[in-house]
Amino acid sequence: MVQVLSDLPKFTDPNILIDQTSLDDAGVYKIDAHRALIFTVDILTPIVDDPYVFGEIATANSLSDIYAMGGDPLIALNIAGFPPEADVSILKEIIKGSIHKAKEAGVKILGGHTIKDEGVKYGLAVIGIVKPDKVITISGAKPGDKLLLTKPIGTGIISTSAKMEMATQISLNQIIDSMCRLNNKAKDAMQKIEVNACTDITGFGLLGHSLEMARSSKVSLNIYGNKVPIFKDAIKYVNKGIFPPGSQSNFEYIHPYARFDTQVNESYQKLLCDAQTSGGLLISIPSSKVEHFCKLVPEALIIGEVIKKGKFPLYIGW
Protein backbone atom coordinates (compact mmCIF):
# COMPACT_ATOMS: atom_id res chain seq x y z
CA MET A 1 0.00 0.00 0.00
CA VAL A 2 2.83 2.39 0.81
CA GLN A 3 3.97 2.56 -2.84
CA VAL A 4 0.44 3.35 -4.02
CA LEU A 5 -0.11 6.03 -1.41
CA SER A 6 3.26 7.75 -1.68
CA ASP A 7 2.23 9.93 -4.65
CA LEU A 8 -0.98 11.23 -3.12
CA PRO A 9 -1.47 14.74 -1.75
CA LYS A 10 -0.58 14.94 1.94
CA PHE A 11 -2.40 16.38 4.93
CA THR A 12 -0.37 18.78 7.00
CA ASP A 13 -1.28 19.31 10.62
CA PRO A 14 1.19 19.55 13.52
CA ASN A 15 -0.96 17.12 15.49
CA ILE A 16 -0.43 14.30 13.00
CA LEU A 17 2.22 12.19 14.70
CA ILE A 18 2.10 9.19 12.34
CA ASP A 19 0.46 8.97 8.91
CA GLN A 20 0.59 6.69 5.88
CA THR A 21 4.08 7.86 4.92
CA SER A 22 5.45 5.63 7.68
CA LEU A 23 5.38 1.83 7.73
CA ASP A 24 3.58 1.85 11.06
CA ASP A 25 0.41 -0.10 11.71
CA ALA A 26 -1.90 2.84 12.34
CA GLY A 27 -2.24 6.59 12.19
CA VAL A 28 -1.63 8.63 15.34
CA TYR A 29 -3.17 12.02 16.06
CA LYS A 30 -2.35 14.17 19.06
CA ILE A 31 -5.34 15.61 20.95
CA ASP A 32 -3.43 17.41 23.71
CA ALA A 33 -0.19 17.05 25.66
CA HIS A 34 -1.45 13.91 27.41
CA ARG A 35 -3.46 12.08 24.81
CA ALA A 36 -3.11 10.90 21.23
CA LEU A 37 -5.54 8.78 19.24
CA ILE A 38 -4.37 5.71 17.36
CA PHE A 39 -6.67 4.90 14.45
CA THR A 40 -6.59 1.75 12.36
CA VAL A 41 -8.77 -0.39 10.11
CA ASP A 42 -8.41 -4.03 9.04
CA ILE A 43 -10.68 -6.45 7.21
CA LEU A 44 -10.33 -10.18 6.54
CA THR A 45 -11.90 -12.89 4.42
CA PRO A 46 -12.81 -16.03 6.44
CA ILE A 47 -9.86 -18.19 7.41
CA VAL A 48 -11.87 -20.70 9.47
CA ASP A 49 -15.27 -22.35 8.88
CA ASP A 50 -16.86 -21.34 12.18
CA PRO A 51 -18.31 -17.81 11.80
CA TYR A 52 -18.16 -17.07 15.54
CA VAL A 53 -14.47 -17.95 15.66
CA PHE A 54 -13.85 -15.95 12.50
CA GLY A 55 -15.40 -12.93 14.25
CA GLU A 56 -13.07 -13.43 17.19
CA ILE A 57 -10.00 -13.73 14.97
CA ALA A 58 -10.88 -10.71 12.81
CA THR A 59 -11.33 -8.67 15.98
CA ALA A 60 -8.07 -9.77 17.62
CA ASN A 61 -6.38 -9.01 14.30
CA SER A 62 -7.84 -5.49 14.07
CA LEU A 63 -6.93 -4.64 17.66
CA SER A 64 -3.37 -5.81 17.16
CA ASP A 65 -2.32 -2.64 15.33
CA ILE A 66 -3.32 -0.56 18.37
CA TYR A 67 -1.37 -2.82 20.73
CA ALA A 68 1.68 -2.75 18.44
CA MET A 69 1.89 1.00 18.96
CA GLY A 70 1.63 0.69 22.73
CA GLY A 71 -1.97 1.92 22.87
CA ASP A 72 -5.17 0.90 24.62
CA PRO A 73 -8.08 0.26 22.24
CA LEU A 74 -11.18 2.21 23.19
CA ILE A 75 -13.98 2.08 20.61
CA ALA A 76 -14.59 0.43 17.26
CA LEU A 77 -16.98 0.22 14.31
CA ASN A 78 -17.37 -2.99 12.39
CA ILE A 79 -17.30 -3.26 8.61
CA ALA A 80 -18.69 -6.29 6.86
CA GLY A 81 -19.19 -7.55 3.33
CA PHE A 82 -21.96 -10.11 3.00
CA PRO A 83 -23.63 -11.89 0.04
CA PRO A 84 -27.35 -10.98 -0.16
CA GLU A 85 -28.30 -14.62 -0.76
CA ALA A 86 -26.40 -15.95 2.26
CA ASP A 87 -28.04 -16.86 5.58
CA VAL A 88 -27.92 -13.74 7.70
CA SER A 89 -27.49 -15.81 10.88
CA ILE A 90 -23.89 -16.35 9.72
CA LEU A 91 -23.25 -12.62 9.90
CA LYS A 92 -24.89 -12.54 13.31
CA GLU A 93 -22.53 -15.27 14.55
CA ILE A 94 -19.50 -13.37 13.20
CA ILE A 95 -20.59 -10.24 15.05
CA LYS A 96 -21.31 -12.22 18.24
CA GLY A 97 -17.76 -13.60 18.16
CA SER A 98 -16.48 -10.12 17.52
CA ILE A 99 -18.40 -8.64 20.46
CA HIS A 100 -17.11 -11.41 22.71
CA LYS A 101 -13.50 -10.63 21.78
CA ALA A 102 -14.07 -6.87 21.99
CA LYS A 103 -15.43 -7.26 25.53
CA GLU A 104 -12.39 -9.29 26.52
CA ALA A 105 -10.24 -6.38 25.25
CA GLY A 106 -12.39 -3.73 26.94
CA VAL A 107 -13.32 -2.21 23.57
CA LYS A 108 -16.83 -0.96 22.81
CA ILE A 109 -18.22 -1.60 19.34
CA LEU A 110 -20.53 1.35 18.72
CA GLY A 111 -21.97 0.33 15.37
CA GLY A 112 -20.84 -0.40 11.88
CA HIS A 113 -21.69 -0.82 8.25
CA THR A 114 -22.41 -3.80 6.00
CA ILE A 115 -22.29 -3.83 2.21
CA LYS A 116 -23.50 -6.46 -0.24
CA ASP A 117 -20.49 -8.36 -1.45
CA GLU A 118 -19.72 -11.58 -3.36
CA GLY A 119 -17.88 -13.06 -0.38
CA VAL A 120 -17.91 -12.67 3.37
CA LYS A 121 -15.56 -10.07 4.83
CA TYR A 122 -15.30 -8.72 8.34
CA GLY A 123 -13.11 -6.31 10.23
CA LEU A 124 -13.04 -3.31 12.50
CA ALA A 125 -11.99 0.30 12.44
CA VAL A 126 -10.56 0.88 15.90
CA ILE A 127 -9.63 3.95 17.92
CA GLY A 128 -7.11 3.56 20.69
CA ILE A 129 -5.47 5.96 23.07
CA VAL A 130 -1.82 6.50 23.99
CA LYS A 131 0.35 9.15 25.64
CA PRO A 132 1.89 11.20 22.79
CA ASP A 133 5.43 10.61 24.11
CA LYS A 134 4.82 6.87 24.57
CA VAL A 135 3.90 5.95 21.00
CA ILE A 136 5.88 2.89 19.95
CA THR A 137 6.78 2.88 16.27
CA ILE A 138 8.46 0.55 13.82
CA SER A 139 11.36 2.95 13.30
CA GLY A 140 13.17 2.99 16.67
CA ALA A 141 15.14 -0.27 16.60
CA LYS A 142 18.77 0.25 17.69
CA PRO A 143 21.92 -1.84 17.20
CA GLY A 144 22.37 -4.00 20.29
CA ASP A 145 18.62 -4.51 20.79
CA LYS A 146 17.23 -8.00 21.01
CA LEU A 147 14.25 -9.02 18.90
CA LEU A 148 11.34 -10.74 20.62
CA LEU A 149 8.41 -12.52 19.00
CA THR A 150 5.26 -13.32 20.97
CA LYS A 151 3.48 -15.93 18.80
CA PRO A 152 4.68 -18.84 16.65
CA ILE A 153 4.46 -18.52 12.86
CA GLY A 154 2.89 -20.77 10.22
CA THR A 155 -0.83 -19.89 10.46
CA GLY A 156 -1.08 -19.23 6.70
CA ILE A 157 0.39 -22.60 5.76
CA ILE A 158 -1.71 -24.52 8.29
CA SER A 159 -5.00 -22.79 7.42
CA THR A 160 -4.35 -23.44 3.72
CA SER A 161 -3.60 -27.09 4.54
CA ALA A 162 -6.84 -27.23 6.53
CA LYS A 163 -8.81 -25.95 3.53
CA MET A 164 -7.28 -28.81 1.53
CA GLU A 165 -8.26 -31.12 4.39
CA MET A 166 -4.65 -32.04 5.02
CA ALA A 167 -4.08 -30.40 8.41
CA THR A 168 -4.64 -32.35 11.61
CA GLN A 169 -7.31 -31.10 14.01
CA ILE A 170 -4.58 -30.56 16.60
CA SER A 171 -2.58 -28.20 14.45
CA LEU A 172 -5.73 -26.39 13.31
CA ASN A 173 -6.78 -25.90 16.94
CA GLN A 174 -3.31 -24.59 17.78
CA ILE A 175 -3.43 -21.86 15.16
CA ILE A 176 -7.03 -20.94 16.04
CA ASP A 177 -6.06 -20.45 19.70
CA SER A 178 -3.13 -18.35 18.62
CA MET A 179 -5.08 -16.20 16.13
CA CYS A 180 -7.81 -15.58 18.73
CA ARG A 181 -5.29 -14.47 21.34
CA LEU A 182 -5.07 -10.71 21.96
CA ASN A 183 -1.67 -9.06 21.94
CA ASN A 184 -2.65 -7.09 25.05
CA LYS A 185 -0.28 -8.79 27.48
CA ALA A 186 2.76 -7.75 25.44
CA LYS A 187 1.26 -4.26 25.15
CA ASP A 188 0.95 -4.03 28.97
CA ALA A 189 4.60 -5.01 29.30
CA MET A 190 5.66 -2.50 26.64
CA GLN A 191 3.90 0.26 28.56
CA LYS A 192 5.87 -0.69 31.69
CA ILE A 193 9.23 -1.44 30.15
CA GLU A 194 10.37 0.95 27.47
CA VAL A 195 11.02 -0.80 24.20
CA ASN A 196 12.53 0.77 21.07
CA ALA A 197 10.28 -0.51 18.28
CA CYS A 198 7.36 -2.81 17.61
CA THR A 199 5.15 -4.04 14.79
CA ASP A 200 2.65 -6.87 14.53
CA ILE A 201 3.22 -9.84 12.26
CA THR A 202 0.42 -10.14 9.72
CA GLY A 203 0.13 -10.48 5.94
CA PHE A 204 3.73 -9.62 5.09
CA GLY A 205 5.00 -12.47 7.26
CA LEU A 206 7.80 -12.46 9.84
CA LEU A 207 10.52 -11.53 7.36
CA GLY A 208 8.38 -8.96 5.52
CA HIS A 209 7.55 -7.06 8.68
CA SER A 210 11.17 -7.48 9.85
CA LEU A 211 12.28 -5.93 6.56
CA GLU A 212 9.98 -2.97 7.21
CA MET A 213 11.47 -2.56 10.67
CA ALA A 214 15.03 -2.71 9.33
CA ARG A 215 14.28 -0.12 6.64
CA SER A 216 12.33 2.23 8.92
CA SER A 217 14.94 2.04 11.67
CA LYS A 218 17.92 2.22 9.27
CA VAL A 219 19.50 -0.90 10.75
CA SER A 220 19.92 -4.55 9.81
CA LEU A 221 18.33 -7.42 11.64
CA ASN A 222 20.07 -10.66 12.44
CA ILE A 223 17.41 -13.35 12.83
CA TYR A 224 18.30 -16.63 14.51
CA GLY A 225 16.39 -18.93 12.14
CA ASN A 226 16.35 -21.93 14.49
CA LYS A 227 15.06 -19.83 17.39
CA VAL A 228 11.90 -18.63 15.64
CA PRO A 229 8.86 -20.34 17.22
CA ILE A 230 6.84 -22.24 14.61
CA PHE A 231 3.70 -24.32 14.58
CA LYS A 232 5.33 -27.71 14.31
CA ASP A 233 3.35 -29.13 11.41
CA ALA A 234 3.85 -26.06 9.20
CA ILE A 235 7.23 -27.22 7.97
CA LYS A 236 5.79 -30.64 7.13
CA TYR A 237 3.11 -29.04 4.93
CA VAL A 238 5.62 -26.76 3.17
CA ASN A 239 7.71 -29.83 2.44
CA LYS A 240 4.59 -31.30 0.80
CA GLY A 241 4.41 -28.22 -1.40
CA ILE A 242 1.61 -26.36 0.39
CA PHE A 243 2.32 -22.65 0.42
CA PRO A 244 -0.37 -19.95 0.09
CA PRO A 245 -0.09 -17.54 -2.88
CA GLY A 246 0.21 -14.49 -0.57
CA SER A 247 3.10 -16.14 1.25
CA GLN A 248 4.73 -17.03 -2.07
CA SER A 249 4.69 -13.38 -3.19
CA ASN A 250 6.15 -12.38 0.20
CA PHE A 251 8.93 -14.92 -0.36
CA GLU A 252 9.69 -13.64 -3.86
CA TYR A 253 9.66 -10.01 -2.75
CA ILE A 254 11.82 -10.53 0.35
CA HIS A 255 14.42 -12.89 -1.06
CA PRO A 256 16.77 -10.25 -2.62
CA TYR A 257 16.91 -8.36 0.69
CA ALA A 258 17.69 -11.33 2.89
CA ARG A 259 20.94 -13.22 3.25
CA PHE A 260 20.20 -16.75 4.35
CA ASP A 261 22.78 -18.96 6.02
CA THR A 262 23.30 -22.13 3.96
CA GLN A 263 21.74 -24.17 6.79
CA VAL A 264 18.40 -22.41 6.31
CA ASN A 265 16.84 -24.61 3.63
CA GLU A 266 14.25 -23.37 1.15
CA SER A 267 11.25 -24.79 3.02
CA TYR A 268 12.37 -22.96 6.11
CA GLN A 269 13.01 -19.74 4.19
CA LYS A 270 9.46 -19.97 2.91
CA LEU A 271 8.01 -20.63 6.34
CA LEU A 272 9.69 -17.45 7.63
CA CYS A 273 7.82 -15.52 4.90
CA ASP A 274 4.42 -17.13 5.54
CA ALA A 275 1.57 -14.57 5.68
CA GLN A 276 0.10 -14.53 9.18
CA THR A 277 -3.37 -13.65 10.42
CA SER A 278 -3.51 -12.06 13.85
CA GLY A 279 0.15 -12.88 14.45
CA GLY A 280 2.31 -11.87 17.37
CA LEU A 281 4.28 -8.73 18.07
CA LEU A 282 7.87 -8.30 16.91
CA ILE A 283 9.56 -6.15 19.55
CA SER A 284 12.97 -4.51 19.50
CA ILE A 285 14.12 -4.06 23.06
CA PRO A 286 17.39 -3.02 24.75
CA SER A 287 19.12 -6.23 25.81
CA SER A 288 19.28 -5.10 29.46
CA LYS A 289 15.47 -5.18 29.60
CA VAL A 290 14.87 -8.57 27.98
CA GLU A 291 14.86 -10.57 31.19
CA HIS A 292 12.30 -8.31 32.86
CA PHE A 293 10.10 -8.31 29.75
CA CYS A 294 10.16 -12.10 29.39
CA LYS A 295 9.15 -12.48 33.03
CA LEU A 296 6.00 -10.48 32.28
CA VAL A 297 5.43 -12.13 28.89
CA PRO A 298 6.84 -15.67 29.06
CA GLU A 299 5.67 -16.47 25.52
CA ALA A 300 7.98 -13.75 24.12
CA LEU A 301 11.04 -15.50 22.71
CA ILE A 302 14.34 -14.02 21.58
CA ILE A 303 14.56 -14.58 17.82
CA GLY A 304 17.36 -12.24 16.85
CA GLU A 305 19.21 -9.00 17.36
CA VAL A 306 19.54 -5.60 15.78
CA ILE A 307 22.89 -4.80 14.19
CA LYS A 308 24.38 -1.81 12.37
CA LYS A 309 23.02 -1.35 8.87
CA GLY A 310 24.89 -3.80 6.65
CA LYS A 311 24.81 -4.81 3.00
CA PHE A 312 21.54 -6.67 3.55
CA PRO A 313 18.64 -5.47 5.70
CA LEU A 314 18.09 -9.05 6.89
CA TYR A 315 20.53 -11.78 7.85
CA ILE A 316 19.05 -15.15 8.71
CA GLY A 317 21.40 -17.44 10.57
CA TRP A 318 20.96 -20.79 12.23
CB of 26 to Co ion, least distance (A): 7
Contact 271, 157 (CB under 8 A): yes
Nearest approach in angstroms of CB 201 to Co ion is 8
Give the 3-state secondary structure of residue 61. helix
DSSP 190-226: HHHS--SEEEE--TTHHHHHHHHHHHHHT-EEEEEGG
Minimum distance from residue 263 beta carbon to Co ion (Å): 30
Minimal CB distance residue for Co ion: 25
State the helix-helix crossing angle for 184-192 and 51-68, rounded to 10 degrees.
Answer: 10
Q: For Co ion, which is the closer residue by CB, 160 or 277?
A: 277
Q: How far is the CB of 284 from Co ion (least distance, A)?
A: 15
Q: How far is the CB of 31 from Co ion (least distance, A)?
A: 22
* CB nearer to Co ion: pick between 78 and 202: 202
Nearest to 61 by CA among 215, 53, 234: 53
Strand order across the beta sheet in which 121-130 lies: 16-18, 27-30, 36-44, 121-130, 72-82, 108-116
Q: Which is nearer to Co ion, 162 or 213 (CB)?
A: 213
CB closer to Co ion, 71 vs 233: 71
- Considering the complex, state which of residue 36 and residue 124 has its C-beta at the smaller distance from Co ion: 124
User: Can you give the binding site for Co ion, defined by CB under 5 A?
Assistant: 25, 42, 65, 113, 200, 202
